[in-house]
Every structure is written in C-alpha cells, then in structure tokens.
Amino acid sequence: MTTRHEICPVSEIPPGERRIVEASGLSIGIFNLDGEFYALANVCPHQLADLCAGQIGGLVTAPRVGEYAFERDGQIVRCPRHRWAFDITTGESVFNPHLRTRTFDVETEPTGEDAGSEQRATYGTELHGDEPPIDTYEVEVEDEQVVLYV
C-alpha cells in the first residue's frame, strides 16, 4: 500500500538542495536537481550512516593519464561516514555498478501559472549480487507542493 505524504512547498527545496524527512517510519532524502525531484532512502548500505546528509557533488574522472574532468555536478551524494558515492537520480552506487535500486516513475504536473510545462523522470532499478539496495521513492509536485509516495 502506497502512502501519500505532503512534504512542503516546492520553494522550500531550491535547486541543488535537499530535505530529509520521516515518512511511513522511514528516513528519506528528497533532492531537487534543477527542478526535478528525487527521493532516496537515507541509509548507506555499507554501515547504515545517514546517506542523504552527505556531501552533494560530482565525479572526477580521468579520460587519459594526466587528464582530469569534473562531471555530473550536483548529481552525486557521498556517505558522510566513508564517502561511498551514489547517483541521486538512480540510487546506483558509483563504485559498484552492480548495486542498483528499484525503479519508480516521477511526474511533475503543471499547476496554475506553470501550465504547459511537464517533466518525467525514470529511476534506474535492478539489484545484482548480494549487496543491499538503496531504495528510491516516487516524488511529485502537486499544486506547488512536493508530495512523496512511500
């Protein structure tokens, strides 16, 4: 059974920010990435730290020796305990590509003055191996309110 939780007005979670909430007995982080909302369980599978309280940033990659690039700024959350990194948009581990979470569709419906704008996002989802998943949850914007479905 899915439970609907009204969290807050959209304006209270500006782009690049997050809010950690309790819903249905779970701690969940809700992230705003450039107007699209994503929700992750607030628990790192490594040692159960508050994952969503971690640093939000990107990835440093090295396409060639001596060359570095910074990618996906604002899309990665790092566990504050041991810095394990997870993709906010999919719940997938950056370091272990076999660790993935269930998928959920997220829709933002136009309201009032924003009529005509619509977005849709899909979360990555599959668990390979025997490591625990990072659960993701459905988030919608309804009448300028962030709504979480657990």
Domain positions in the chain: 4-149
Q: Smallest Cα–Cα separation from 91: which of 65, 117, 120, 126?
A: 126
Q: What's residue 101's pLDDT?
A: 40
Q: What's residue 111's pLDDT?
A: 59
Phi, then psi, of 88 in degrees rounded to 5: -65, -30
In the block, residue with structure tokens 């979470």: 101
Whether pTM > 0.85 for this model: the answer is no
pLDDT tens across 19-76, in order? 999 999 999 999 999 999 999 999 888 778 899 999 999 988 888 899 999 889 899 9
| Distance separating alpha carbons of residues 88 and 62, to the nearest angstrom | 22
Cα 13 to chain centroid distance, Å, stands at 13
| CB of 57 closer than 8 Å to CB of 69 | no
Query: pLDDT band at 109, cuts 50/70/90?
Result: low
pLDDT of 102 higher than 70: no
> Facing residues of 4 across strands?
149
Q: Which fold has domain 4-149?
A: Rieske Iron-sulfur Protein (2.102.10)
Mean pLDDT calculated for residue range 85-98: 83
| CB of 59 closer than 8 Å to CB of 84 | no
In the block, residue with structure tokens 């719940």: 91
Residues in the chain: 150
Q: What's residue 113's pLDDT?
A: 54
pLDDT of 17 higher than 90: yes
The shares of helix, strand and coil residues in the chain, as percent rounded to the nearest 5, are 5, 50, 45
pLDDT of 105 higher than 50: no
